[in-house]
Structure 1
Amino acid sequence: MPIIEHNPPAVFPPYRAYSHAVEVRGESRLLFISGLNGYENDGKTMPESFDGQAELIWKHLATILASAGMTVSNLVALRTYLADPKYDEANGLMRLKHLGTHRPASTVVCCRLLEPRWKLEVEATAAT
């Protein structure tokens, strides 16, 4: 299944590991991943730091993708919700670390999250 990035030169250049649009062609499987947060496996404890929570979220994301026979290279869209704009730079670095050269469509929103201890939440869509 080809995944085609669309970054037309008439639109500003994408930055921080994303594409303006991602097209999935042909027959495909779609995986919609609910918002993931930084809870440990017990569902109660979580790291205090942004980096600790983000690493755990990317680990959870990789585990869920693997359960469907996919990897981060199958991600076609990411939505990241940050509890505070001050986490933007750290979030960008974390995305680069885990995505490498892969560039899914992406949106980052700063908002109040459901649990006050959460620093971020990540929702994703993947396709094969």
Structure 2
Amino acid sequence: MPIIQHTPEGVFPPYRNYSHAVEVKGDARLLFISGLNGYHEDGQSMPDAFEAQGELIWKHIGTILKSAAMDYTNIISVRTYLADPSFDEANVQLRMKYLGNNKPSLTVICCQLLEKKWKLEVEVVAAKD
């Protein structure tokens, strides 16, 4: 299953772990992971720190990907909701840690999240043939 990154001339250069567009060709399975928060496995508690919530979220994403016989390299799109723009650099560092050389399409939105204790929410689309 070819995954093609589109970064055409006439658009600003892509930045860290980012592609302007990602195309999936051929027959593929698509996995849509709902927006995840940094809850521990008990579903009730979560750490206060942004980085700790982010680590849990990315580990949950990895667990869900594994359940579909995928891994982080299969991610083709990431949408992150940040509770505050000051979390941007820490968010980039987490994304780079878990995505490595993978450069999916990305969107980061700063907004008020449903619960005040949430620092971020991340949703993902992955593809595999």
The interval holding the TM-score normalised by the smaller chain is: over 0.9
Aligned to 1:77: 77
Aligned partner of residue 108 in structure 1, secondary structure: strand
Equivalent residues in 2 for 1:1-128, closer than 5 Å: 1-128=1-128
Q: TM-score, structure 2 length as denominator?
A: 0.97
Number of residue pairs the alignment of both structures matches: 128
- Report the aligned-residue RMSD: 0.6
Q: How much does 1:9 deviate?
A: 2.4
- In 2, Cα distance between the equivalents of 1:47 and 1:4? 37
AA of the residue aligned to 2:88 = D
User: Quick one: distance in 2 between partners of 1:103 and 1:26?
Assistant: 20
In 1, Cα distance between equivalents of 2:14 and 2:118 = 27
Alignment-mate amino acid for residue 114 of structure 1 = L
CA distance in 2, matches of 1:16, 1:36: 22
- Write out the 4+ residue segments of structure 1 that deviate beyond 2 Å after TM superposition: none
User: Any unmatched runs of 5+ in structure 2?
Assistant: none
Q: Aligned with 1:116: secondary structure?
A: coil
Secondary structure of 2:18's counterpart equals coil
How far the C-alpha of 1:8 sits from its partner, in A, is 1.1
User: TM-score w.r.t. structure 1 length?
Assistant: 0.98
SS of residue in 2 equivalent to 1:118: coil
Alignment deviations for residues 24-49 of structure 1 (CA, whole Å, 9 cap, x no partner): 00001000100000000000110110
Deviations along 1:52-77, one digit per CA (max 9) or x if unpaired, are 00000000000000000001111110
Which amino acid is 2:82 matched to? Answer: L
Percent sequence identity is 63
Aligned to 1:126, what secondary structure does the other structure show?
strand
Which secondary structure does the structure 1 equivalent of 2:66 belong to? helix
